[in-house]
Amino acid sequence: MNRNHMNNEKTSSTAGKGGGRKLRNDIIFIAALLCAVICLGAGFYFLRPGGDEVVVKVDGEVFGTYSLDRDTVIDIRTGKSGEQLNRLVIKDGKAYVEQASCPDGICAAHKPISRQGESIACLPNKVVITVQTRDADHGPDIVA
Amino acid sequence: MKNAAKKTAFLGLCTALALVLAYVEVLIPPIITAIPGIKIGLPNIVIIFLLYRQGIKEAALVSVVRVVAVALLFGNVMGFAYSIAGAVLSLLGMLLLKKLDFMSVVGVSVAGGVLHNVGQIAMAMILLGTAELGYYLIVLAVTGTISGVLIGICGALMIKRIPEWK
């Protein structure tokens, strides 16, 4: 009981005297923490290893896998009789959707993708294009 | 606390309060459904209160009993593994920062919240064997900081206002 009472006195006195200093330290700590997290996030984002192929999935089924090394144009035809189109272009190691039949055109507006895990999705046509590394079992290159 | 019985009763009460807060938290619908695991950490108010008012032994005891009981009531085995890793790391970090005594309850609480997330993710990485989960920590660290500030303010008010039990 005695110990607890002393503890209590100590906390209340420190809150009174060093309150401003501690509050400042709190703010510095939180700011430093958030900065560290943002730097870490940015680091992860920009240092993501580049992928070397894109996988096109239509409604969850693999439509095709294409290397990023070769410049190509792939017409992804979907819908009952292939009336829907997403034209995927691979150029200079990056993949983007050049033209799409979907009403919103979000996929066509998406910036070119080249890093592992990046993806472009066209929800109306149920098309998802994802960048991956050729041999996924080996995991990301540790040296890189 | 005058005697052992009184102390047991008090800690039991604190555990019950922590459990009720955990239940309240379960009832709150997830803010962002795409990212599970974001929690306010309401029971941490009780843990912080005990850490400052009673000491590490009491805080640790209530924390562990709470994690076990929450897992039994609302969770599963995997959830328990994540929670206990988070709880232990969080408590150790808060104890250290409290001892160093350069931050107020709010700063200590923020550290506790973030360390809880770190412990959870580390455990998940070990159990699931995927390093990819590290990305997840970035999101959880930000939400952990925000909730840590709120919990810290609540905890500081409780430490200040609740009269000492004789």
- Residue pLDDT, tens place only, A37-85: 888 888 877 777 778 889 998 888 888 899 998 899 999 888 888 888 8
- Confidence band (pLDDT; 50, 70, 90) for B33? low
Give the closest of B52, B103, B135 to A25, CB-based: B103
Q: CA A59 → CA A90, B72, B118, distances in Å?
A: 21, 39, 36
Q: What are the strands, taking DSSP E only, across A1-144? A: 53-58, 61-67, 72-78, 84-91, 94-100, 119-122, 127-132
In a domain, B119, yes or no: yes
Q: Do B104 and A12 touch (CB under 8 A)?
A: no
What residues pair up with A129 in beta bridges, in sequence order? A56, A120
Residue B137's nearest CA partner among B154, B124, B153, B127 is: B124
- The interface residues of chain A toward chain B in range 93-122, judged by CB-CB distance below 8 A, are none
Mutate to test the interface with A, among B53, B136, B137, B138 (most CBs of A within 10 A): B138
In a domain, B97, yes or no: yes
Give the closest of A11, A19, A29 to B159, CB-based: A11
A31 CB near a chain B CB, below 8 Å?
no
Collapse the DSSP code of A95 into the 3-class scheme (helix H, G, I; strand E, B; otherwise coil) and give the result.
Answer: strand
DSSP state of A133: -
Q: What is the CATH number of the domain that holds B129?
A: 1.10.1760.20
ipTM over 0.90: no
Cα–Cα distance, B91 to B112 (Å, whole number): 7
Residue B42's nearest CA partner among B113, B100, B106 is: B113
- Structural domain count, chain B: 1
Collapse the DSSP code of A18 into the 3-class scheme (helix H, G, I; strand E, B; otherwise coil) and give the result.
Answer: coil
Q: CA A99 → CA A85, A89, A105, distances in Å?
A: 8, 9, 8
* Residue B144: domain span: 4-26+35-161
Nearest chain A alpha carbon to B143: A34
Cβ(A1)–Cβ(B82) under 8 Å? no
SS3 breakdown of chain A: % helix, strand, coil, rounded to 5?
35, 35, 30
Higher pLDDT, B38 or A89: A89
pLDDT score of B166: 59
In a domain, B66, yes or no: yes
pLDDT surpasses 90 at B111: yes
pLDDT surpasses 60 at A15: no
| Residues 6 or more apart in contact with residue A50 via CB below 8 angstroms | A93, A114, A115, A116, A131
- How much is the average pLDDT of A3-26? 60
pLDDT score of A16: 46
Q: Do A8 and B110 touch (CB under 8 A)?
A: no
Cβ(A48)–Cβ(A116) under 8 Å? yes
In a domain, B166, yes or no: no
Residue A115's nearest CA partner among A70, A71, A53, A55 is: A53
Residue whose pair of structure tokens reads 């931050």 in the numeric block: B103
Residue B90's nearest CA partner among B111, B69, B106, B66 is: B111
Closest-CA distance of chain A to residue B35, Å:
16
In a domain, B71, yes or no: yes
Residue whose pair of structure tokens reads 């919103």 in the numeric block: A104
In a domain, B76, yes or no: yes
In a domain, B14, yes or no: yes
Q: Do B114 and A4 touch (CB under 8 A)?
A: no
